[in-house]
A and B are shown apart, each in its own frame.
Chain A
Amino acid sequence: MAAVAALLLAANTAQALEDAPAVGYRPDPSTIEGGLWMAGDKAEQAVKTSPQLVHDAALNAYVRSVVCKLAGDQCASIRVYIVEVPRFNAYMMPNGAMVVWTGLLLRVQNEAQLAFILGHELTHYLHRHALDSMRRAETTSSLLTLFSVAAAGAGVGIVGSVANLAAAGMLFAHTRDQERDADSGGFDLATANNYDPRQAASIWQFVMDESHANPHAEGRDFFTANHPTDAERLATLTQKADGMAAQSWVTNEAAFHSQTKPFLDRWLEDEFNRGEPEESVAMLERLVAANPPSGPLSYYLGEAYRRRNAAGDIDRASNAYKAAIATSDRPAAAYRGLGLLAMKGGDKQSACDSFTQYLATAPEADDRAMIQYYLTQLQG
């Protein structure tokens, strides 16, 4: 309680801080900003020790390189953490720790889109939005509530679950005006680094499409829960892009795909296991249409159709598996998918052919015995 009292006193007497934190800045622990950073430090420690933290050096270096391109000298103040959670989210802690979920990396189509989101998060830090929110807490009780939430959240393994990860983001939630400011700041940072301004609006288009596809959606996703509406962002960012002078903008799509390709299978399996096939179908239809032919993308689109099982999905799944098989990086599992569809549809010969092809392509498959059992049943 003494610490909270000191923070409250500091809140009442602190001067407004308008400028970005200096590189290497560390607030006095007895100030309200020091308390915010302390909560951030605890949340960051939980992220560091999470089993879901992605340790791959190349991927971390790549995402950090994009952050540093945007942040300039402030790069030294930012730590970036990638965590394996199959949903669209990123958040910034007030102490300079940035968390990016793999579901976001799966969904963005190029480096420019990633840069707009990372720039948005950087702006929260550079404009000290968390401190501003804290100072706007008008009453002692609301400030106490904020700190009790921060203290509770910081003490419970914040990165352990989607709910806890979301709670960590919510600890440092911002107002809608701050989110508008972050959108604008992110746009300016990205375009100053020559990223195609039209990519900013396209992010909110696909966020809307996915959300509208799911009849069970409980509400807006974590990243956008406190943000302006997706439609407002789409309109605002489109208007800003229209106002930019024509020049040779970049998306760095090839670099982005080269860095994320090794993880595609794992992230797609995570997405599939989320059990939201309507959203997965919307996302994968978009990615398949926007990218060069990709075996894993087409295969998981087939899986999502098979799981959704709406009218016409059997044919769509079959076509997606066949498209996957036609690629140079065909997943053996696409043959299994075709076999399962044929078996359910009573086409024994096609099922046998596909299962046989699966076993020939993946002789060490861990479900080999099950597929052989299917074959025995089909041939019996």
Chain B
Amino acid sequence: MRRFAIPTLMSFLLLAGCVSVTGIDAAKPVMVGDGITVNPQVAWASVSLPNVSDVFWTIDGIGLDELHFYTGIAPGQPLMKIPGKTAAEIGTYAATMLPNDVMDLLASSLEKENYQTVHSSGLTPVTIGSHAAFRFNLTFSTPSGLEMQGTALAIQQNGKLDVILFLAPREYYFAHCQPIVDKIFASVQIA
């Protein structure tokens, strides 16, 4: 599916003329920001959309599987920028936040991004090298009513926050990609 989907996606985006797409090599580690490096495991397309702050990766296409990187979030900053909303409206990070607070912040940020009935669960500690990190899961619906699942890895270091968030439709795509995402999360290295 990937073999056909990425060229299709690329063609669509080139026609649109307002986005940038670059290929991500499966075999080469990639620095995704704030000193964090991941091993992509498979080939991805890195997508940058207008009016959206973060760059995200996709295998099969936008909306089908998306791996977002929110890195180097300083205190007072929101996790993501949402057009038309201020940082205070979205909710901002504080260095004193515990993992529970970060999970709540991501859930409410997704609500502000127009996702519906966002529920978070399964907050679990993980270790990345000498760094403490944590994972949790999400369920929600898209603005058009599609049921989605998500899983997130969050790291708090030097007063800043890094979150890697994978989102995909509950039907087929999430389960299909989860083993790849688990390997990417396990591959995280912090400089």
Contact = CB atoms under 8 A, between A and B. Distances in A.
Interface of A: 49-52, 84-86, 156-157, 159-164, 216, 269-270, 272-275, 307, 336, 340, 343-344, 366-367, 369-370, 373-374
A156 B116 contact: no
Contacts of B120: 273
B172 to A, nearest CB: 16
A160 B147 CA distance: 10
Contact of B145 (A160, A307, A373, A374): A160
Given A216-B86, A273-B107, A274-B108, 14 more contacts: A52-B116, A85-B116, A85-B117, A86-B117, A160-B116, A161-B116, A161-B141, A161-B144, A270-B117, A273-B120, A275-B91, A307-B108, A343-B98, A367-B121
A271 to B, nearest CB: 11
B185 interface: no
B152 to A, nearest CB: 13
19 contacts: A49-B145, A52-B116, A157-B144, A160-B142, A160-B146, A163-B114, A273-B107, A274-B111, A275-B91, A275-B108, A275-B109, A275-B111, A340-B98, A340-B100, A344-B96, A366-B122, A367-B100, A367-B121, A370-B124
Contacts of A270: 117
Interface residues of B, number: 36
B88 interface: yes
Contact of A273 (B101, B108, B122): B108
A52 B104 CA distance: 21
Interface of B: 86, 88-91, 96, 98-101, 104, 107-109, 111-112, 114, 116-125, 132, 134, 141-147
Contacts of A370: 99-100, 123-125, 134
Contacts of B143: 160-161, 163-164
Nearest to B89: A216
A111 B188 CA distance: 54
A162 B112 CA distance: 11
Q: Ordered nearest first, which 9 A-B pairs have the shortest CB separation?
A: A275-B108, A160-B145, A161-B143, A373-B125, A367-B123, A160-B144, A370-B123, A216-B89, A157-B144
Contacts of B109: 275
A49 B146 CA distance: 11
Nearest to B100: A340
Nearest to A215: B88
Contacts of B96: 344
A85 B135 CA distance: 27
Given A160-B142, A160-B143, A164-B143, A269 B119 contact: yes
B104 to A, nearest CB: 7
